[in-house]
Amino acid sequence: MFHDSVAPTSAIDRVAFRLLKWLTLTCDVIGVLLLAGVLLMLVAAVAMRDVLGLGLPWTEEMASMLAIYAVGVGSLSAWVRGEHLAVDLFSHRLPKLARAVQFRLCAIISCGFFALAAWGAWLMAESSAYNRTVSLGISFSYLYYGILIGFAGMTVLSLWQALRGEVTWRSVADMNEEHPDA
């Protein structure tokens, strides 16, 4: 979405464009690092068990936590890019006004769902604060915080979409088609 896009001309859209570009890049880097950590934990556990005959029970808990956080931050990046699963049967056939209304309505419904899911993750984090993992002895709340990050972030993003409406960043290729001499 952003790699070949030109920043919009409106000041507020330019700020949003840069902020969302920074958010997706940051989430992508963090997600890749977290998934690399998961892979490293699993390889270390297998190598220690099979080569040295030593068990590392804490790696399973850490790999689970890292995977949850990777999904949480990755969902933000996917939401900004519009890469979550969507069923679009008739939107392209709607007139411009109806399409704008449909987009905002979907964003409002999504915002409500995400807010409810974030609230549920918060409640689960609070209720499991004194439950501890077996190997590391850390609170299960930290697992739910990864889910909370994802849903709270998508709540904010979908609220922005509902307020702003659909934004299509113009790619460099689109600009060149309009002005071939430029």
Q: Which residues contact 30 (CB under 8 A, 6 or more apart)?
A: 69, 70, 73
In sign, the C-alpha dihedral spanning 120, 30, 27, 17 is positive
Secondary structure element (H or E) that encloses residue 42, with its range: helix 11-47
Helix axes 58-81, 141-164, angle to 10 degrees: 0
Between 180 and 127, whose confidence is greater?
A: 127
In sign, the C-alpha dihedral spanning 30, 31, 37, 41 is positive
Q: What is the pLDDT of residues 32-47, one digit of tens each?
A: 999 999 999 999 999 9
The answer to whether residue 170 scores a pLDDT higher than 60 is no
Q: What is the pLDDT of residues 74-114, one digit of tens each?
A: 999 998 888 877 767 777 788 989 888 988 999 999 999 99
In the three-class reduction of DSSP (H, G, I as helix; E, B as strand; rest coil), residue 134 is classed as coil
- Domain definitions of the chain by residue range: 11-85+93-178
